[in-house]
Every structure is written in C-alpha cells, then in structure tokens.
Amino acid sequence: EVQLLESGGGLVQPGGSLRLSCAASGFTFSSYAMSWVRQAPGKGLEWVSVIYSGGSSTYYADSVKGRFTISRDNSKNTLYLQMNSLRAEDTAVYYCAKAVASHDAFDMWGQGTMVTVSS
C-alpha cells in the first residue's frame, strides 16, 4: 500500500524552527519528485516546495524562500522540511505529496501535520 506519513508538527513561537518529516512506503521513493503543500485553517491549498528525485533540484514558493529548506534521504525513504524564522502566517496543516512522473500533479498525499506559530 502506498503511504505517506508526516510527523514533526507542533506549537512553536514566532522566529522559531521546526523540522517536518514524511516517511514514504509502497513505492520507489527515489524515482519521484516530492512536494510540501500547506493549508492554513479554513483556507485553500498553497504549494510550498518541491524536490526532484535525485535531490539536487529544489524550488520554493516566494512566501518561504530563504526560510524553508526541503531535503530527502532516499536511503531512508524520507522527505524533510526544515522551517526557520517561522511566522504566524506559516500556521497551517502541512502535507507531503508525491508527484506523478510528469510532475504535473500530485497523486498521493499524507494525512498532514499541523504547525502552529504563536506566542
């Protein structure tokens, strides 16, 4: 069964840091691009970052560029998101998502992990 399981969310103060993890199983993790997508409470979906299969190519939304770092460990089938200098507007459910082979869409999503930035 294809599965993505996020962890690492929680409550953090503004300016703080958090690292999210996403454990993948049921598919050849190293063959696919992976993304993080977030959803603020009661709001729509916002793409955050992508990392291609080899790990050398990464891209970020302008809203997180310079503060977030995406990475992956293909030997551990795990995706990461290091979040620094967190702001209140980063409060959201963070989903990891597997891209289809053409990178056009996301065909598998985790259940999400909640990040709350508040003092």
Partner 1 sequence: EIVLTQSPATLSLSPGERATLSCRASQSVSSFLAWYQQKPGQAPRLLIYDASNRATGIPARFSGSGSGTDFTLTISSLEPEDFAVYYCQQRGNWWTFGQGTKVEIK
Size of the site for partner 1 (CB under 8 A): 22
SS3 state at 51: strand
Nearer to partner 1, 7 or 13 (CB): 7
Nearer to partner 1, 42 or 119 (CB): 42
To partner 1, the closest distance from the beta carbon of 42 in angstroms equals: 11
How many C-beta atoms surround the C-beta of residue 116 within 10 A?
15
| Beta carbons within 8 Å of 62's beta carbon, 6+ residues apart | none
Considering only residues 35 through 94, tell me which ones interact with partner 1, judged by CB under 8 A: 35, 37, 44-47, 50, 59, 61
Nearer to partner 1, 17 or 28 (CB): 28
Encoded tokens for 13: 């103060």
CA–CA dist 22, 95 (Å, integer): 9
Q: Which residue type is seen at 11?
A: L
- Which string of DSSP letters, residue by residue, matches 91-102? -EEEEEEEEPTT
Sole binder of partner 1 in the list 58, 67, 112, 114 (CB under 8 A): 112
To partner 1, the closest distance from the beta carbon of 102 in angstroms equals: 8
Which residues contact partner 1 (rule: CB under 8 A)? 35, 37, 44-47, 50, 59, 61, 95, 100, 102-112
